[in-house]
Structure 1
């Protein structure tokens, strides 16, 4: 079974699963909002994690954000998630020593 960050879905499947037009996925990639894996031949392959991001992009578009704003929100959400993971690790490490 592939991991959630392994590219396995063709663009048509990813677009369908995220309920977005295929062309939008290409635009989001050009704007740096998503970075699908590529086969040796250059075919895009989207992961489960990519589809989660695509759905989030769709939500933010519905809320009225433009692509620049969406890029900033996604970056901040990633930063917050990373900080929470680091804090949890630190808390667990301190608990092991205590």
Structure 2
């Protein structure tokens, strides 16, 4: 069985309660890389509510702090670029 991906809700990875999973395949080989949850209505409502709350907090963060966080994000992308490239290559079949 393929690995089932968790959902990120309110800053935490959580297992979905769904019984419907969407296979993520490598189009070149048809290998199932993992399965993504088809979120339940309740999970969607939770995600939307937490995103609204996060935005309310985020819009109050000073621009200098936001920029610092985005630069940290950029650094993490560079640090993990090989791993990210591998995942994207598999997902697109290239």
Query: TM above 0.5, one fold?
Result: no
- TM-score band, normalised by the shorter chain? 0.3 to 0.5
Q: Which has the higher strand share?
A: 2
